[in-house]
Amino acid sequence: MTTVQTPAGRAGRVDWAGLGWAFLFFWYFSGVTQGLIQLTGTAGFTGFRQAFLLSSLWLIPLLLFPARARLLAALIGVPLWLCSLAAFGYFLIYGQEFSQSVIFILFESNLSEGSEYLAQYFAWWMVPVYLAYGLGAWLLWRKVRPVYLPRRAALLASVALFTLSLGYPAIRQFIKQDDPRSAFDHFAARLEPATPWQLLVGYQQYRSQLANMQDLLDGASKIAPLTALQDAHAGQPATLVLVIGESTNRQRMSLYGYARETTPELDKLRDQLQLFDNVVTPRPYTIEALQQVLTFADQQHPDAYLKTPSLVSLMQQAGYRTYWITNQQTMTKRNTMLTTFSKEADEQVYLNNNREQNARQYDGDVLDPFAKVLADSAPRKFIVVHLLGTHMSYQYRYPPEYERFTDRSGAPAHVTDDQLPTYNSYDNAVLYNDFVVSSLIKRFAATDPNGFLLYLSDHGEAVFDAAKPEVLGRNEAAPTSPMYTIPFMLWQSPKWQGRDYRFAQQRPYSSANLIHTWAELAGLSFAELDSSKSLVSRDFKPMPLLIGDPHQPQNLIDFSLIKPKATTAGGLVLQAPVDGGVHPL
């Protein structure tokens, strides 16, 4: 039997330490940033795991050509190091994970704006940190040494590493997904946490989503303006604000009667607010809901958003300068529609460029940009503030000081010990959302504006609520009340001289018809306006509150026919209609 002599001088044995040093060298370029993400609790473990697995790919050349191990490591390592600087530096500055959204922001910014960003965020400590980062890579490279295996063993090991890092994930996705394009997108998402795929996949996704968005914008530019538009406040300075929440179920807000004090700041403003207690969303998903909320689309005409003006276009036609401030992800496959709406505005502020939705990103970041826009000299302003709200995972939605609910105090008896941490974290997220929304109202009020602020959530969320305490999240195929019941509240400034809408606060209403309500509140009229769909109009007519997928009309449900029965802690028990004509929730 022939033995192989290794540099370590031990015949026939694999130099595991040499393999370990080589792997550590390649993992370093992804692992440092992913390790920081883990240490700071910025995002979940998936990115760290994927970076770990994908780093093993670069061992293959060293196993096949061991005599040139250090040279090959340098040839591979230098590009990896250069590519990793973007993700490493971005995390140091913003505390976020690099993604295609960052590439979108970079390409959307001109040279002057880019220089301003660098000047604003550059600090002296970055120089030694970058030097230390480079030094760490160099020291690890010096540890790289040849690892000699029999040729057959080297080939088998290389096949195994390729299968582990790329082959199996690719095959698995192409088996799971019916559409090859969808399979590729899922596979690419597995690559993105690691260097250099962050840049390569990120740029590919950016180009793909940019093309989709451009098609939507081109279509929007061809839509005819509204007919015979008139403005009761024409010629007057005015500031109108729309705050869009996320995944917030009004049943979990003390403002709406929930047992726990989850909205203490809004509770204090109760006398200044007009609350609407019977508003539901048509869809339990952000994009699908806002396609209707922000346009003339509804459950009977779900594709009308492609053919009719959006709310932003309406306000521009009325002479308002429009602004969009968002803490939602910017350039992902799901969020391209939202980014398209935002690009219709005159100015945009994008705050959340994390790769994953489940990442620590606080809505308090919207407050300073909001104050800056309020100070803008434009006499007539329309401002959209889109929050991340109480989106899953809830523990990422609030800073530690808002972790107030930690035990069973005030929680319903049906919540199990296993469910309690998640149940509490959702209430903590609602508590922080209360701070953000109330702060927006207070900052708006402090400017003594002529206008109003309207807040609603895109949809709700089921978090172990009665009457189905086992349900967490949203599922249109198995709907429950908390997925659809949303907060809807109005603050009007004294200057605006708005009406008292208490007569409308109990009206059953779908947020799909928001554009008609908004027009009424803003004093706008046009031929396409349907006052019967305005929550605050004297001409309002109750309509079926249709929920479900409008592209499958046979499965639509009339939410208003489901009789809610109050339970402890603000939950609802749903009862099916006696006629049996509507599918029960």
CATH number at residue 310: 3.40.720.10
> Does residue 557 fall inside a structural domain?
no
Selection from 286, 264, 391 nearest residue 335 by Cα = 286
Q: How far is CA 482 from CA 68, 250, 459, 573, in A?
A: 62, 8, 9, 10
**Judgement on whether residues 138 and 277 belong to the same structural domain of the protein:** no
Write down the pLDDT at residue 10.
45
Q: What is the C-alpha to C-alpha distance for residues 114 and 118, in angstroms, rounded to an integer?
A: 6
**Judgement on whether residues 166 and 272 belong to the same structural domain of the protein:** no
> Does residue 568 fall inside a structural domain?
no
Q: Locate 65 and state its tokens.
A: 């050509």
Write down the pLDDT at residue 553.
87
Sort residue 494 into left (φ over 0), alpha (ψ -120 to 50) or beta.
alpha
Selection from 248, 313, 237, 331 nearest residue 286 by Cα = 248
Write down the pLDDT at residue 227.
96
> Does residue 556 fall inside a structural domain?
no
Residues whose CB is less than 8 angstroms from the CB of residue 575 and which lie 6 or more positions away in sequence, other chains included = 562, 563, 564, 565, 584
Q: What is the C-alpha to C-alpha distance for residues 445 and 524, in angstroms, rounded to an integer?
A: 23
pLDDT in tens, 324-378: 999 987 755 556 677 888 989 999 998 887 766 666 789 999 999 999 999 999 9
pLDDT in tens, 428-485: 999 999 999 999 999 999 999 999 999 999 999 999 998 889 999 888 878 899 999 9
| Predicted confidence pLDDT, tens digits, the chain (585 residues) | 344 444 544 446 889 999 999 999 999 999 999 888 888 877 778 888 888 999 999 999 999 999 999 999 999 999 999 989 888 887 887 677 776 656 655 665 545 545 555 555 566 777 898 899 999 999 999 999 999 999 999 999 999 999 998 888 889 888 888 888 788 877 887 888 888 887 787 777 767 766 766 777 788 888 999 999 999 999 999 999 999 999 999 999 999 999 999 999 999 999 999 999 999 999 998 888 998 999 999 999 988 988 889 999 999 999 999 999 999 877 555 566 778 889 899 999 988 877 666 667 899 999 999 999 999 999 999 999 999 999 988 999 999 999 999 999 999 999 999 999 999 999 999 999 999 999 999 999 999 999 999 999 999 999 999 888 999 988 887 889 999 999 999 999 999 988 999 999 999 999 999 999 999 999 999 999 999 999 999 999 999 999 999 988 888 999 976 544 443 334 443 433 323 333 333
The 8-class DSSP code of residue 21 comes to H
**Judgement on whether residues 194 and 261 belong to the same structural domain of the protein:** no
> Does residue 274 fall inside a structural domain?
yes
**Judgement on whether residues 279 and 159 belong to the same structural domain of the protein:** no
Write down the pLDDT at residue 126.
78
**Judgement on whether residues 160 and 283 belong to the same structural domain of the protein:** no
Selection from 463, 373, 368, 460 nearest residue 424 by Cα = 463
- Could you give the number of structural domains in the chain? 2
Domain that holds residue 386: 235-543
**Judgement on whether residues 205 and 256 belong to the same structural domain of the protein:** no
**Judgement on whether residues 120 and 188 belong to the same structural domain of the protein:** yes
Residue 17: its H or E element: helix 16-40
**Judgement on whether residues 475 and 375 belong to the same structural domain of the protein:** yes
